[in-house]
Amino acid sequence: DIQMTQSPSSLSASVGDRVTITCRASQGISDSLAWYQQKPGKAPKLLLYAASRLESGVPSRFSGSGSGTDYTLSISSLQPEDFAVYYCQQYYNNPLTFGGGTKVEI
């Protein structure tokens, strides 16, 4: 299985801050990476796929980058509605695996 390691596991930030979350795969995944946002009591919501492609309807303040084993999710200017848990997921190999999550708190 490909292990996905996210860092940090949690962070505190303020509205307007730039936030970066890192996801490292245990082997190369050729940009087969998605990012999700999950709010309490809700299903995850897809933000980006193929490492850097923005899902339709997702604000452009979200962006993704990286290659090989190391990927990042950035939020350029944190908004109140962005406080949530973020997960990365690889789909390069079966089984699909998720990172442990990063909680973004005020």
Partner 1 sequence: QLQLQESGPGLVKSSETLSLTCTVSSGSISSSNYYWGWVRQPPGKGLEWIGSVYYSGNTDYADYNPSLKSRVTVSVDTSKNQFSLRLTSVTAADTAVYYCARHGGEYLQQLTHWGQGTLVTVSS
Out of 52, 58, 96, 103, point to the residue binding partner 1 (CB under 8 A).
96
CB of residue 58 vs partner 1: minimum separation in angstroms?
Answer: 11
Residues within window 21-60 making contact with partner 1, judged by CB under 8 A? 32, 34, 36, 42-46, 49-50, 55
Residue 96 CB partners (closer than 8 Å, separation 6+): 89, 90
CB of residue 44 vs partner 1: minimum separation in angstroms?
Answer: 6
Dist. CA 23–CA 3, nearest whole Å: 10
Could you tell me which of 88, 81, 68, 80 has the C-alpha nearest to residue 20?
Answer: 88
Which residues form the interface with partner 1 (CB under 8 A)? 1, 32, 34, 36, 42-46, 49-50, 55, 87, 89, 91, 94-101
